[in-house]
Each structure stands twice: as C-alpha cells, then as structure tokens.
Amino acid sequence: MADFKNGQAEEERERVSLNILHIAPRNTAGVPLEMVRAERRLGYDSRLITMMSGPQDRESGICLDLPWASFPGFSLFRKLILPRTMTRSVNQRVYPETCPPVWRVPDRIRFLFDLRERIWTPLIEHACREQDWLSADVLQLDGGLGFYRDGRWVRRFKTKGKKVIACYLGSDLRIRGVIPAIDALSDLNVTVEFDHLEHHSDIHHVPFPFDVDSIPKSVHGVYEKIRVGHAPTSRAAKGTEHILKVLRLLEKSRPIETVLIEKKPYREALRMKSTCQIFIDQLGELGYGMNAVEALAMGIPTCTSLAAGFEKAYPDHPFVRVDHRNLEAVLIRLIHNERERIERGKRSREWVRRTHDSVNVVGRIHKLAGLKNSGPLLSNGKNKSMA
C-alpha cells in the first residue's frame, strides 16, 4: 500500500511539474483558453499568450496587444493587400493545389511583414524574459502560427528539446495553409475542424474543447411563437442569406420568430441563444462550429450541414442534418413536433458532455503527443483517456 501511495504522489508531482505554453493570434471562439483551463484542471501549469484581443468580449489570456497585429479597418486592409484566396469566406470544400497548402508572403508586400516583425521583436523578447516562456516543457501553437513567419522563435524552443504541437482552428488550413518553417518543427498536428483532414497528410482530428457545465440549459419560457436562432460570424461562411430567406417565408405561415444573433457581446449572444427552441448553425460542406456546440449544450435541437465523413466517425451525433434543399421541410417538421425537439435536446447536452469535454480533448492531444500521464487523473489515481 505504501508503494502505491508513493507512486501516486510521484505521479501527481510529475503532472504538476509539466509546464505548457499556448501561443495564439487571438482567443479564437474561446478554444485556446478552454484548453488552458482544462490543462489547469488536470494539474498542469498552463498559460495562453495572445498577440491581440479577439472580437466580442472573450478573455484573451496574457494579451501582448502587438502593434499592427490588428487595428480598425484591418479586415479591409487585408483584402487590399492579400490575394482573394486568403481573405474570402467560404462554406464549400476547398481543394488546394498542395497538401498541405502552404502560406507564402506575396513579394510585393513582404517588406510590410518584415517591418512588423522588427517592431515586434523587442516587445516579444522583453515579455519572453520577464515571463520565462522558454522554461515551458510544451509549446502549443493554437492556429499553427508562431510570432515570426520564419519560425525562429519556435526553433529556439525546439532546440531545447521541447515538444511542439500545432493545433489548427477555423480556416487556418482551408484559406491560409501551413507556415513551412513551423510545419517542419511541429511534433504533432491536430485540428478541431473535421474537413482539415483532407488538407494535411499528418494531422489528427479532436472535437472542439468545451465545458458543458459553464453553459446554462435553454430557458424554456412561455413564448407566443417558437424561437429559431441563427448566429453568423460570417454570413457567407454560414449560408445566412438562404437561412434567413427560408425563415422569413416560414414566418408568414408558421408560429415562429427568427432570432438573429449577430455582432453581439459574447454573454448577450449566449443569453439570446438560450431563449431559442431551435437553432440553425450553418449550410455548406465544412461542418459545424462552436455556435452549434453551445446550442447543443443548452439542450437546443440544432440544424446544420456536416462535413464529409463526419457521420461515419461520430455516428451517435444528435444534429438535425440540413442542406439548402431540405431546410424548409426539416424546420416545418421540428416546429410541429415538440416531442422530437425535447428528445433531441436531451440527447444533445449529453453528447456534448461525452464528445467535447475539454479535459478529454486535452487528454487526447497529450496522448497523441506522447506526454507522460496524459488524461485526467481520477481520485483513485488511475488515468482516463479519451477513446
């Protein structure tokens, strides 16, 4: 018994000693910070460094607010200087010329990136020394980006024998592609986007990390009409115009009210979403996003298109699958079938708990990376890993 206790104590000490540093352009959809929180729940020393604050009112970890990382009108500036393929919003599958697609700085604007990185260097080096970033055991690049496009800072980290993980989010691989120097240095590539599996030959899919208990269940108030929610971050990427066209048509003949959640602070968006009885995430070929996970966690039946191959990999999913052709018919069925809405809502929250639990997702990444003691430590001292 003494040997078991000593072994358990040693395991706990080793777990606490693991230091993980996350670097991300911003806290995209809350994913990087949720991973950090999950790692802290596992007993790791985990930090998130962001280059700029994100939209809405999400936390940003330790935010450097680097100059020229973003500024008012930045989106327009990017559209003016970058090729259209790097700035467009799409909801259809992308077929890149190479696998993985590779990010290159257009020659005519290379000097702008060089100038920005020269301005950043003293700020980054000061923060690195002050906060002792290079003492970390693991570096995770949430977005597949380092501070510099030539990978110099990641290389410094790697030469110390540390693990480097690249975690791709959103359109990182669809639109931008890998940074060649960083792709060569990464020990493990993971993605939260199922369709990214088609864009990299050495990448693993993990679900969006999510803490179900942080989201309240749907508020089942007494409403005169059934509230149908939709929350686009990009109308083009979500198929919003077609969704709104169908909803406006149904409003003329069915007891529904459209709840458009757009450009709202995060907490206000959550509150509005919680009042819905049906939620529509997106139409297209790229699969669901964090908006859908939040709606499922609230117990709201959620309609979405799914990425090719997703249903085979996750056959127990609770989504109501829709496309441009059947959206109207599916909504009519849900509007008039309260029992199906209730049953799907119950399944939805439990599925998110099983599939998207952030501790399990982080445990899966650590196991793939070959980190010791990956997976949450249970009270009996055993490890539990994501299947």
The helix (H) or strand (E) run that includes residue 229 is: strand 226-230
How high is the pLDDT of residue 55?
Answer: 61
Choose from 53-57, 136-140, 197-201 the range with maximum mean pLDDT: 136-140
Count of C-beta atoms within a 10 Å radius of residue 325: 9
pLDDT over 70 for what percent of the chain?
Answer: 84
pLDDT tens-digit profile of 246-280?
Answer: 999 999 999 999 999 999 998 999 999 999 999 99
CA–CA distances in Å: residue 182 to residues 77, 95, 104, 177, 187 = 25, 22, 13, 11, 10
Residue spans of the domains in the chain: they are: 2-209+357-369, 213-355
Higher pLDDT, 297 or 176: 297
104: pLDDT confidence band, cut at 50, 70 and 90?
confident
Q: Could you tell me which of 382, 366, 379, 369 has the C-alpha nearest to residue 44?
A: 366
What does the pLDDT read at residue 88? 57
CATH class of 213-355: alpha beta
Per-residue model confidence as pLDDT tens digits over 308-365: 999 999 999 999 999 999 999 999 999 999 999 999 999 999 999 999 999 999 999 9
* Torsion angles phi and psi, residue 270, rounded to 5: -65, -40
At 4-49, the pLDDT tens digits run 444 554 545 444 468 999 999 999 989 999 999 999 999 999 999 9
Q: According to the model, what pLDDT value does residue 201 have?
A: 92
Residue 61: the pLDDT is 85
Amino acid, single-letter form, for residue 266: Y
- Please state whether beta strands 226-230 and 256-260 pair in parallel, antiparallel, or not at all (unpaired): parallel
Identify the pLDDT of residue 14: 47
Per DSSP, the three-state class of 54 is: coil
Give residue 173's pLDDT band: very low, low, confident or very high (50, 70, 90): confident
Q: Which helix (H) or strand (E) holds 270?
A: helix 266-274
Q: How high is the pLDDT of residue 72?
A: 56
Residue 174 predicted with pLDDT over 70: yes
CA distances from 116 to 49, 106, 109, 328 (A): 18, 15, 11, 49
Q: Tell me the C-alpha distance between 12 and 268, whole Å.
A: 39
Q: In sequence order, what are the residues at sequence separation of 6 or more whose Cβ sits closer than 8 angstroms to the Cβ of residue 53? A: 26, 60, 63, 65
The yes-or-no verdict on residue 82 having pLDDT over 70 is: no
Architecture of domain 2-209+357-369: 3-Layer(aba) Sandwich (3.40)
Q: Give residues with Cβ within 8 angstroms of 303, minimum separation 6.
A: 278, 279, 280, 281, 319, 320, 321, 322, 327, 330, 331, 334
Give exposure, 102-121, as e/b (b: 16+ Cβ within 10 Å).
ebeeeeeeeeeeeebbeebe
C-alpha to C-alpha distance for 330 and 284, rounded to whole angstroms? 16
- What does each C-alpha distance from 114 to 107, 111, 167, 311 come to in angstroms? 11, 5, 25, 44
Residue in this structure with the two tokens 């790692």, named with its chain if needed:
39
CB atoms within 10 A of CB 315: 7
Contact 300, 348 (CB under 8 A): yes
How many whole angstroms separate alpha carbon 145 and alpha carbon 104? 13
* CA dist., res. 80 & res. 52, Å (int): 21
Q: How confident is the model at residue 385 (pLDDT cuts 50, 70, 90)?
A: very low
Neighbours of 156 (CB within 10 A): 14
**What sign for the dihedral angle of Cα 221, 230, 265, 47?**
positive
342: buried, middle or exposed (CB in 10 Å: 19+, 13-18, 0-12)? middle
SS3 240: helix
